[in-house]
């Protein structure tokens, strides 16, 4: 289902994306820059997320889309 939604979104123009009722938030698979540990988090996370392996802050909330301090490997549309 995730690939189908992503394909539909790619085909829409910017104006159509604003009108269409698709979620703007996704789940992200993020790799820690320090140790390479991968973690799944929400793109609009409201709490800080630290790497459980090394303790480095990976996700910081901003009131909207979270600031990601790591490599985004994959996006999961629900």
Q: 62 lies in a domain?
A: yes
Q: For the segment 61-77, what is each residue's pLDDT rounded down to a tens digit?
A: 998 899 999 999 998 87
Q: For the segment 13-60, what is each residue's pLDDT rounded down to a tens digit?
A: 777 766 766 677 899 999 999 999 999 999 999 999 999 999 999 999
Q: 7 lies in a domain?
A: no
* pLDDT the model gives residue 3: 73
Q: 8 lies in a domain?
A: no
Q: 20 Cβ partners below 8 Å, 6+ apart? A: 12
**Structural domain of residue 65, as residue ranges?**
24-78
Q: 43 lies in a domain?
A: yes
Q: 15 lies in a domain?
A: no
In the chain, the number of structural domains is 1
- Comparing 33 with 5, the larger pLDDT belongs to 33
> Which domain CATH number covers 32?
2.20.25.100
Q: 54 lies in a domain?
A: yes
């Amino acid at each position: 289902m995730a690939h189908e939604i992503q394909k539909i979104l790619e085909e829409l123009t910017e104006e159509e994306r604003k009108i269409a009722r698709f979620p703007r938030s996704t789940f992200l698979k993020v790799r820690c820059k320090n140790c390479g540990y991968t973690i799944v988090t929400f793109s609009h996370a409201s709490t800080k997320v630290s790497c459980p392996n090394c303790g480095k802050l990976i996700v910081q909330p901003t009131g909207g889309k979270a600031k990601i301090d790591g490599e985004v490997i994959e996006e999961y549309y629900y």
